[in-house]
Amino acid sequence: MEVTKIENVTRTFKTGKMETHALRGVSLSIESGEFTALVGPSGSGKTTLLQLIGCLDQPTSGHVYVNGKDVSKLNRNQRADMRRGTIGFIFQFFALIPTLTAYENIEMPLLLNGYSASERRERVTELLKAVDLADRANHRPDQLSGGEQQRVAIARALATKPTLILADEPTANLDTPNGKQVMETMTRLNQETGVTFVFATHDPRVIQYARRVVTLRDGVVVENSEAEEISLGV
């Protein structure tokens, strides 16, 4: 089953009389349960593509389907509803609320979605165990390492049981051991839950975890290959 389908998508940004063509006729399908990397140099369009899939932006032309719904036609409130119920996000800079504990950061999307106190407690406890942070539940972000913060962010992204997780450079601010642990956590949760993961990266250490790699350059898909077909020297 297709979780995401991109059909001939373009995205153009205008600044005065200048136009920047971030995406130029991109077409792509992502199946349920995939663990897919979007790779390419800075300015290749991979972050723009993630933002379109994540309903954070709209294409200039073309169509973006998430779970069969054409999200490119939704208004701002409808896109917000789609993000809240269907899509989880993992950011390069973690984006945790600094005054909240790990437990409370993971709990936040459940609060926003109207889960009961008992449901929240059960789900957060389950997720803390899943990312190996049960003993860090009451620590604030400034009391956690970068790798621990990103694992809290992964748990938060999974809190409402989305069908799709989008991650933008999830290991860019981590050293090699922490980056490895974060990628192993994402891989394991993808396999255990069946949630689809799509992540943007330019780091060969991260690319090696992907089961499919989509390479973009100058806003165009130049390669779309299964992992075993790929040279990691991207």
Q: What is the pLDDT of residues 82-95, one digit of tens each?
A: 888 799 999 888 89
The domain total for the chain is 1
Nearest 5°: the CA angle 22, 86, 184 is: 80
- Residue 65's contacts (CB-CB under 8 Å, 6 or more residues apart) are 2, 4, 5, 6, 7, 71
- Look at residue 19 and tell me if it is in a domain: yes
Q: Supply the pLDDT for residue 16.
A: 83
**Structure tokens, 84:** 């809240």
- Residue 93's contacts (CB-CB under 8 Å, 6 or more residues apart) are 173
CB 220 within 8 A of CB 50: no
- Look at residue 118 and tell me if it is in a domain: no
Q: Supply the pLDDT for residue 203.
A: 85
- Look at residue 84 and tell me if it is in a domain: yes
In terms of Cβ atoms closer than 10 Å to its own Cβ (0-12, 13-18, 19+), residue 23 is buried
Q: Supply the pLDDT for residue 168.
A: 92
- Look at residue 133 and tell me if it is in a domain: no
Q: What is the pLDDT of residues 70-81, one digit of tens each?
A: 999 899 999 998
Residues of the chain with pLDDT under 50: 229-234
Looking from the CA of 191 toward its CB, the CA atoms found within 13 Å total: 9
Q: Supply the pLDDT for residue 234.
A: 35
The boundaries of the domain holding residue 201 are 2-90+159-227
Element (H, E) at 56: none
- Look at residue 146 and tell me if it is in a domain: no
**Structure tokens, 71:** 């999200």
User: Can you give the CATH number for the domain in which 218 is found?
Assistant: 3.40.50.300
Q: Supply the pLDDT for residue 73.
A: 87
Q: Supply the pLDDT for residue 227.
A: 64
Q: Supply the pLDDT for residue 15.
A: 85
- Look at residue 196 and tell me if it is in a domain: yes
Give me the amino acid identity at 25.
Answer: G
- Residue 207's contacts (CB-CB under 8 Å, 6 or more residues apart) are 37, 39, 201, 213, 230, 232, 234
Mean pLDDT, all residues of the chain = 91
- Look at residue 127 and tell me if it is in a domain: no
pTM (2 d.p.): 0.90
Which among 97, 13, 8, 15 has a CA at the least distance from the CA of 47? 13
Q: Supply the pLDDT for residue 232.
A: 37
- Look at residue 124 and tell me if it is in a domain: no
Q: Beta-carbon neighbour count of residue 118 at 10 Å? A: 8
Q: Which residue has the tokens 């269907």?
A: 86
Give me the amino acid identity at 222.
Answer: V
Q: Supply the pLDDT for residue 228.
A: 54
Q: What is the pLDDT of residues 179-215, one digit of tens each?
A: 999 999 999 999 999 999 999 998 888 899 999 999 9
Q: Supply the pLDDT for residue 99.
A: 97
Q: Supply the pLDDT for residue 182.
A: 93
